[in-house]
Amino acid sequence: MTLYKCVSCILLWNIIAAFALVDRQLHTYSADGRNYGKDKTESLTGSFPFLMPSVSPKTPDLYLCTPIKVDPTTSYYIVGYKPNATMNTAHHMLLYGCGEPGNTKLTWNCGEMSKSTEEESGSPCGPQSHSQILYAWARDAPRLDLPSGVGFKVGKNSQTKYLVLQVHYAHVDQFKDGSTDDSGIFLQYTEKPLTKLAGTLLLGTDGIIPPMKTEHMEAACEITENKTIHPFAYRTHTHGLGKVVSGYRVRSNAQGVQEWTLLGKRDPLTPQMFYNVENNSPIVAGDFVAARCTMKSTRHRVTEIGPTNEDEMCNFYLMYYVDEGEPLDMKYCFSQGPPNYYWDNPDTGLHNIPDQDASIL
């Protein structure tokens, strides 16, 4: 994979990239770490360390992003992710595939709702560019290997021209002495063309959680594209109030009754890795995908959706592949959340909804 990044030049980046994005050259490595060069890697899987460039965050709940530009002359297929982080340092990490990065600096503050800091700011991806989440990690989750023959396509003939790593630093006490961090992800990839192209669909909500209450945050979207997707993994994410997160495929039977097929259900405070789906039956046009987070508040205040540990999040990630063609154009499915949106609202098109108590582990 010829991403523009030189692992041996991190210190140089910090000097040069103070004014502009530096093309960071990736050399091609085999799985055992030896540098074979591009001409000998056609059938090899390489490993690329996409890491934070020795950052020293100063502000609690800071979201930092760093980009790499993908060689536009070659197609690459990401087939696995090996995290290089611990939950003591990084609250969570996201890997974005972008048409353009949200900033031209080596690092920038990419918290969508974060407070002003000394860092340059911007979204992970450019405001009008392609944006999708390729991977997510939290709570000491282990590595993820995609199914055989499945990969995320980036570079040539792909909308993903840049990769952007986002790391959320919830606590920064350990950096007060000037210590630095290189949290990130080792990307496992191949240049061998793959026909099963992977995609990730993120379901989530906005909304609020009342004080001292149990609240159900729900989202659902209809699949309107004429594509067949094969789900294979899911991941849940909340902050401290989450008790369980569940995801479903919703399909109407011959009698017009909607059947809710469980894709996955987890306690979000366990390692937030990607788990095998409970049912890998295809999802087709006309089906709905739906997610619910059960939140239990012991706080004497309202909790809002937001980026900090004092806020909450309700996320269900569904990873899938297509046998032919491109993954879904739809990358995100979000609702307004409570108190404005619930599955049983009359305009959602949903019925035969599982009991709320069924979402409790």
pLDDT at 360: 52
Which residues are known binding-site members for Cu(2+)?
91-92, 168, 237, 239, 313
User: Any catalytic annotation for residue 166?
Assistant: yes
Model confidence over 313-350: pLDDT tens digits? 999 999 999 998 999 999 999 999 999 999 999 999 99
Burial class (CB in 10 A: 0-12, 13-18, 19+), 248: buried
pLDDT at 20: 29
Q: Is the C-alpha dihedral spanning 204, 78, 102, 176 positive or negative?
A: positive
Q: What's the mean per-residue pLDDT of the chain?
A: 86
Catalytic residue among 52, 295, 313, 319: 313
Which residues are known binding-site members?
91-92, 168, 237, 239, 313
**pLDDT greater than 60 at residue 1:** no
- Residue 39 pLDDT class (50, 70, 90 cuts): very low
**pLDDT greater than 50 at residue 76:** yes
**pLDDT greater than 50 at residue 307:** yes
Model confidence over 19-33: pLDDT tens digits? 222 344 333 333 333
Q: Which ranges of the chain does DSSP label H, i.e. alpha helix?
A: 10-16
Model confidence over 164-183: pLDDT tens digits? 999 999 889 999 999 999 99
Domains, the chain, ranges and CATH?
46-194 (2.60.120.310), 199-348 (2.60.120.230)
Catalytic residue among 52, 216, 237, 319: 237
**pLDDT greater than 60 at residue 79:** yes
**pLDDT greater than 70 at residue 46:** yes
* The two structure tokens encoding residue 316: 């269900």
pLDDT at 10: 32
User: Any catalytic annotation for residue 313?
Assistant: yes
Q: What is the DSSP string of 54-86?
A: SB---STTEEEEEEEEBPTTSEEEEEEEEEE--
User: Any catalytic annotation for residue 168?
Assistant: yes
pLDDT at 3: 53
Catalytic residue among 1, 168, 217, 273: 168
Catalytic residue among 92, 132, 273, 319: 92
pLDDT at 13: 33
Q: What's the predicted TM-score (pTM) here?
A: 0.84
Residue 342 CB-half CA count within 13 A: 13
